[in-house]
A = this chain, B = another copy of it.
Amino acid sequence: MAQLSSVYRRLEEGAKRLTPQRELIIKLFIDRPGQHLSAEEVHQLVRREFRDIGMATVYRTLELLTRLDILQQIHFNDGRARYEINLETTDVHRHHHMVCVRCHRVEEFQEDLLEQLEERLLAERGFRVVDHELKFYGTCRQCARKQQGGRRRS
């Protein structure tokens, strides 16, 4: 798979070894595109296949993969970092998040309307953007339906 080999290439470029623990963590993210896993969740999932992996290894691996640009760290203001994979097909800079404040599920959307704004920030304020994040907090369709049902009853 092209995406996998690109991940391994990036690992090699970082002069790092592909240990079983690291491979399992990478596979986890490849098997779940579009998911945003916390360190705790990664630990739980990997432990199904590698019982003795420690949290320190998980954190060190997540840090390494983030540094190699294989993962991206995201904060959704719930006090813990989450990670998602950076496949070559994924343009990180045109991909943002909708966080449901009820079920905490995260949806994504593509949008490039920030580019013109970034150009204006450079021209008008001298601020050169290297990264950005846009997050919407609200209620997703499913939770809106549930909420509506609850209100009817009361």
On A, residues with C-beta under 8 Å from B are 75, 77, 98, 100-101, 107, 109, 111, 113-114, 117-118, 121, 125-141, 144
Contacts and interface: CB of A to CB of B under 8 A. Distances in A.
A140 to B, nearest CB: 5
Contact of A130 (B121, B126, B128, B138): B138
B138 A127 contact: yes
Given A121-B98, A132-B134, A134-B134, A140 B127 contact: yes
A113 B116 CA distance: 11
Query: Is the contact region of chain A dominated by helix, strand, or loop, or is it mixed?
Result: strand
A133 B77 CA distance: 11
A75 B75 CA distance: 8
Contacts of A101: 130
Contacts of A136: 118, 121, 127, 129, 131-132
Contacts of A131: 136-138
Nearest to A142: B126
Contacts of A121: 98, 109, 136
**What 4 pairs across the A-B complex have the smallest Cβ distances?**
A126-B141, A129-B138, A131-B137, A129-B136
21 contacts: A75-B77, A98-B127, A98-B129, A100-B127, A101-B130, A107-B125, A113-B113, A118-B136, A125-B141, A126-B141, A126-B144, A127-B141, A128-B138, A129-B138, A130-B137, A130-B138, A132-B134, A132-B135, A133-B133, A133-B134, A134-B135
